[in-house]
Structure 1
Amino acid sequence: MQASGFPQAEKTLMVDGVDNCNTDLSVTVQNNSLSQARSSLHYSNSQYRPTSKTQISPSKLSVSCASLLPVFSLPSEKSSSFVYRTNGAERGLCVIFSVDKFDPILCLPRRTGSLVDVQNIKRAFLSLDFKVIVHSNPSSKTLFSVIQTISTQNLRDHDCFACVILSHGDEGGLIYSTDGSIPVERIIAPFRGDQCSDLRGKPKLFFIQACRGMSLDDGVFVCDGPSSNSKPTDTATAMRRIPIEADLFIAYAVQPGYYAFRNSMNGSWFIRSLSDALLRYGNTLDLLSIMTRVNYDVAYEYESTTANPALCGKKQMPSFVSTLTKHVIFPPKRSKNLSKLM
């Protein structure tokens, strides 16, 4: 039997952190289905704070309740306006940064297995009609140059942007290029609404496979029983003010402070699960539902086993931050559907 399309076997495992990154572990993949995913979502928007705040005098807070009502009514759940547009000329661009070799001065081990992650996630995004560009082992200067070039190029016909980062990481929101550390914030910032006008009102997706600290998750036991209980509009309608932080989605392989596990033969837990979920559900489910399944798969189906008791029985919990304002769904492109009929 297989779980989530992965062979059931023990495999050599590493972690994507800056300390003890070359520790060999093995992983046992249990036999449960992704479709049994639980619907617990955890959002943490602490990373996204306003760039400026307006101080309001208490005397000016005396307003009627009617004045607090929104100017626009919320769209219906079934309304196409509650789903990001994905029928443009270009589905989107996905750029992958894979770093598996590092300057000796950083004292970071090679990330064996990263190439498998590249192949898996590239295949997943190609299946969703993205154009995929891979940058292997970029320096900090090269990485920033690529980000700046993409964020300033003509993306008007693109419905979406995705960025995948595969590297070592550390606490404080840092990931590593070949020659130094980079704050994740500096990679995301050029795509915010006030910086990248062509992607305003469009989803910007970031997926980060990297450690976020040195802690190991021991896991806890639970009773796994049943629980209770469009086309663009006219200019007058389309021109609406939105926050510069809107329409961002950042998924991390692990919670802050913890190791992210990687298999030398089959890639990382997170990217393998994410790739499988995008291939299975990318055309039918919205992104948050897909990520809930990824959370479940990594949380329930993976556990480290090793001869070292201190490293045995460890778990991993992915997380994501979302300021998406609509559902992200990637139905097959119309041209692809027509070609199947011919």
Structure 2
Amino acid sequence: MLNVSITALLKKARRPLIAVFGAVALMASSISNAEEPFKVGFVYVGPIGDHGWSYQHDQGRLALEKHFGDKVKTAYVENVPEGADAERVIRNLAKSGHKVIFTTSFGFMNPTLKVAAQFPNVVFEHATGYKRTKNVSTYISNTYEGRYVSGYVAAKMSKTGKLGYIASFPIPEVIRDINAVRLAMNKVNPDYELKILWVSSWFDPAKEAEAANVMIDQGVDVILQHTDSPAAMQVAEQRGVYAVGQSSDMSRFGPKAHLVSVVDDWSYHYIHTVQSVMDGTWKPRDYWGGMAEDMILLPAFNKAIPADVVKEAETMIADIKSGELKPFTGPIYNQKGELKAPAGEALSHQEVAGMNWYVQGIKGEIPH
């Protein structure tokens, strides 16, 4: 009789107990989900210790973590080759629950698009590219604004009238920055020479050092670069010439050689983008940020630069920020003498984004 009573009691209690356990499980699940951080992934073409492009993107990632605290969890993969391997890395980040993925090199564009098509609920942001879809945005900094000002300062500081530019790959981003330097040089002396040496690499300290030495042997006394290591700055310091830093402040690698650095600050874009995805307001777009948005900075000029040159450079920066000065304002001609921008008219973002020609005054051809 006792057994029957206990069985009956358990039968009566079964459903309420299940309901209670179910409610507790649901509550625990909700608390777990509420506490789960928002995962953000980054893919870098070089090492975070390159002290250039990848280093600055990683500084943006760290600023993102600092801003959001434990609400966000970030991950990065460095030294990712542009191509098939990039696709694998990007896919792994998407599969592991990252809700926003930033791919930070031009060669990651097509791999990003392929993975994005397979993960429609993940937001992808690709740096320096031009292809967008429903879940892929593009973003870039107006480095040419900084190149223009640094090109002016470099020309002012040259005694030989020969400036050197260490270039990575012949993509629009690099070509337009070379053109910006040439246009700024023209303000100082259109007869000055700009020597361009292509190294076919974003980060190769040995190649960059060799390129710097070759240029100095040819009479170059100021070196600019679109590569990511401080090797050229170090060579310039050793050989007593000037140089302009790339992406980060490279003054510590050549205190005497360093004229100024064109610094990329990605923190605003990364924080703003992640917040918009969290808020559900994110939409695909082509974002350009420059001096006006404090994404391009020239933080410190060498004390060896005359005060009047610094003042002129600072005026340029102020005018670029206000929109009064746009580096690609006509008249601008290409190497063949063809008019690309009439007097007083500025090239559009679309024209600048697809720039595949040299301005007048540059010798040599763009490699293919």
TM-score by length of structure 1 reads 0.35
Whose helix proportion is higher, 1 or 2? 2
Q: Which has the higher contact order (CA 8 A, sep 6+)?
A: 1
Q: Which has the larger radius of gyration?
A: 2
